[in-house]
């Protein structure tokens, strides 16, 4: 049997919850929300911080079908329960809140926040503005731009989309090619410390099985990372917060078992991934001759084996919870590919802008120079961030729900684990994306106020002399939103 006629085999992996059920229950208890046990039960179990029913409904409503869009795609999800947020936030007039203005005004004037500040608070159920100050001014957002990246990717691809990494026959005799699809969850470890994702281990096992079935035990291994284009290095240069951006990277180019935070990355993610794959093939009885080298699959070659990423909803949640820059840059490129643009920093910028424009939000003054927020050329307004959060909360765009479920919980998870914790009135009630660069501090997310309304807020600041003091100032602002009737 020739390599070109072997059947491929897909591997899917169950997700690992990023937000524990008891944390969410605790937050609801503190809020005093009137959610009945029957309503929660009818919506289904939690999965990666989402209710499965809600995620499935989002997939079924997606204009792109919500599933992987290549040949042999996974079954589409069936319609299910109505959106949970409709029952959480009661309707209100949405008129500007004098109470919020009286509390937030003095806090926003705190000099620790720097020389430029912007704020916006809206009722997530109605989208009506409750408070604004400089909200239309486009500012450097740091990592809060990930809210925009996530919204664009989910709009382009749907929450159930999975990214493929494949092995295909090469152009030469006895050659196989590892083809990168840009999966940021791809791992070479037997058990990924980051949770579910594409697995080189499973891919090697399936490839070895296919080769042996064809009577082949010796191959030359090539690798193809040409799906992405343009510079692989971020404009900021080498940085421990981000690996070179390639379409074939395992474990985010991390040399250890870390899954978040800064660490020195490999200079050759694609080559290292191919070498790791060669070792996994050898462990399974396949001799790999020579060193892996760049190559292209044979024209019209059918994959020998395939491994799939975490569904896009899970990637978005992981990105937002941990402020994962590698996932963010990958999602910007996946958005570009889905939009027919080059998978580069420039292509990602154009695609994200176009996808957000399709949501009907105001993009005046915005720029998305990258997907992660590491680039100071990024510009967004507080008004845009609250508009996207309100879209994610509303019934019209259920595909955006992971933007909310992925946000860290104050005092409990991710980058908010130690912020607004303990006795803070926002502990367990606030979910927000942090943003931090030298002199830039931001916070944007959602919170349940004392009357049970779900509010979306965004605070952007610049030129703060003390980053720690600025963060405390932001936390005070968010806590005030949580505690002001």
Active-site residues, by number, are 143, 146, 323
Q: How far apart are CA 428 and CA 417, in angstroms?
A: 10
**What residues have CB less than 8 Å from 168, skipping those under 6 apart?**
176, 177, 179, 297, 298, 301, 302, 303, 304
Residue 7 per-residue DSSP state: P
| Residue 114 tokens, joined | 């720097």
Inter-residue contact 48 to 314 (CB < 8 Å): yes
CA 292 and chain centroid, separation? 31
Q: Between the CA of residue 89 and those of 13, 31, 426, 448, what are the distances in Å?
A: 34, 12, 17, 8
Q: Where are the alpha helices (DSSP H) in 141-192?
A: 146-157
Residue in the block written with tokens 């996932």: 327
**Beta-bridge mates of residue 440:** 437, 462
Please provide the DSSP assignment of 334-386 as one string. HHHHHTTS-SSHHHHHHHHHHHHHTTT---TT-B-S-SSS--TT-BB-HHHHH
470 within 8 A of 109, measured Cβ to Cβ: no
Q: Is the dihedral of CA 91, 95, 96, 99 positive or negative?
A: negative
């Amino acid at each position: 049997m020739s390599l070109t006629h072997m059947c491929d085999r897909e591997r899917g992996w169950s997700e690992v919850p990023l937000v524990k059920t008891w944390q969410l229950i605790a937050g609801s208890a503190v809020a005093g929300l009137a959610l009945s046990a029957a309503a929660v039960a009818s919506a289904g179990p939690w999965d990666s911080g989402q209710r499965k029913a809600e995620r499935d409904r989002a997939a079924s409503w997606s204009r792109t079908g919500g599933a992987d869009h290549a040949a042999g795609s996974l079954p589409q999800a069936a319609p299910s329960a109505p959106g949970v947020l409709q029952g959480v936030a009661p309707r209100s007039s949405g008129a500007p809140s004098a109470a919020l203005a009286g509390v937030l005004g003095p806090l926003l004037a705190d000099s620790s926040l720097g020389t430029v500040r912007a704020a916006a608070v809206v009722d997530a159920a109605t989208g009506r503005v409750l408070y604004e100050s400089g909200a239309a001014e486009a500012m450097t957002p740091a990592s809060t731009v990930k809210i925009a990246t996530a919204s664009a990717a989910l709009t382009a691809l749907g929450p159930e989309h999975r990214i493929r990494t494949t092995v295909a026959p090469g152009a030469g005799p006895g050659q196989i090619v590892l083809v990168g699809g840009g999966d940021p969850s791809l791992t070479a470890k037997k058990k990924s410390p980051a949770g579910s994702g594409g697995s080189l281990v499973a891919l090697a096992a399936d490839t070895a099985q296919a080769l042996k079935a064809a009577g082949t035990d010796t191959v030359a291994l090539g690798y193809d990372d040409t799906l992405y284009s343009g510079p692989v290095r971020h404009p900021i240069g080498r940085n421990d917060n981000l690996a070179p951006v390639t379409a074939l990277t395992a474990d985010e180019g991390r040399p250890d078992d870390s899954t978040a935070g800064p660490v020195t990355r490999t200079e050759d993610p694609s080559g290292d991934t191919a070498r790791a794959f060669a070792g996994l093939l050898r462990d399974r009885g396949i001799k790999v001759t020579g060193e892996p080298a760049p190559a292209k699959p044979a024209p019209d070659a059918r994959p020998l084996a395939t491994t799939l990423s975490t569904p896009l909803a899970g990637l978005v949640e992981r990105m937002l919870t941990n402020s994962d820059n590698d996932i963010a840059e990958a999602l910007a490129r996946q958005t570009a590919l889905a939009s027919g643009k080059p998978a580069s920093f420039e292509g990602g910028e154009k695609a994200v802008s176009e996808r957000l424009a399709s949501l009907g939000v105001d993009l005046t003054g915005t720029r998305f120079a990258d997907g992660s927020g590491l680039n100071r050329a990024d510009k967004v307004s507080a008004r845009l961030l609250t508009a996207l959060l309100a879209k994610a909360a509303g019934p019209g765009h259920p595909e955006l729900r992971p933007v909310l479920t992925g946000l860290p919980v104050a005092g409990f998870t991710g980058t908010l684990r130690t912020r607004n914790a303990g006795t803070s009135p926002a502990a367990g009630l606030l979910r927000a994306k942090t943003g931090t660069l030298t002199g830039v501090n931001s916070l944007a997310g959602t919170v349940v106020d004392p009357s049970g309304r779900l509010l979306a807020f965004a605070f952007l600041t610049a030129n703060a002399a003390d980053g720690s003091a600025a963060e405390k100032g932001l936390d005070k602002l968010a806590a005030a939103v949580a505690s002001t009737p």
